[in-house]
Amino acid sequence: MTSEPAPDSGWEPDPAGVYFSDRFEVDPQTLKKYGAFDISVVTDLPLFIDPFLLFNSENDEYQALHDQIIDYLRFLKSRATGDLDPKLIDNWYRFKEVEQNWLGFTADGNRGHGLGSGFARSLHGALGSLLEIGKVVS
């Protein structure tokens, strides 16, 4: 898919192909006209869906999803005691990018970064510390 640049725009795609417009030779003004972002296709998008929006929703399905998130956090809290196999920490406490929403899109795919192993270890440790000092109740 290519588009001709507007006659007076002077735009030409950057050979480095950092942005969607460069990679697919679409004039950025064309994207703007359609209300689309000229995203970088070489890095993960700095976008996310705030799960707390589910909390405020009146939609029953979203409320059920919120309840499932809270249940999962309770599960994590219950497993945050003592030593836990690092593989379980990585599996349970690491939040990977949801590929189906394409927010992690780059020219190399849509896997994104999500919250990595460092976050998983920190969350496990923090929940364990909270349990030790008795600040978390069931």
Q: Do both 5 and 63 map to the same domain?
A: no
Give the C-alpha separation, 57 to 69, whole Å: 14
What does the DSSP 8-state code read for residue 41?
A: S
Residue 138 lies in a domain: no
| d(C-alpha 22, C-alpha 28), whole Å | 9
Structural domain including 84 reads 52-132
Q: Is residue 47 part of a domain?
A: no
| Number of folded domains that form the chain | 2
Largest CA distance in the chain: 68
In this structure, is residue 137 part of a structural domain? no
Are the beta carbons of 115 and 76 closer than 8 angstroms?
A: no
What average pLDDT is seen over the chain? 80
Q: pTM (2 decimals)?
A: 0.61
* Tens-digit pLDDT profile for residues 23-57: 889 999 999 999 998 888 887 666 667 777 778 88
Are 64 and 111 in the same domain?
yes
Instruction: Assign 76 a pLDDT band (cuts: 50, 70, 90).
Output: very high
- Whether 121 and 58 share a structural domain: yes
pLDDT score, position 71: 92
Same domain, 37 and 56: no
Read off the pLDDT of residues 21-32 as tens digits, 9 standing for 90 and up: 998 899 999 999
Q: What is the pLDDT of residues 105-134, one digit of tens each?
A: 676 776 666 778 888 999 998 888 875 555
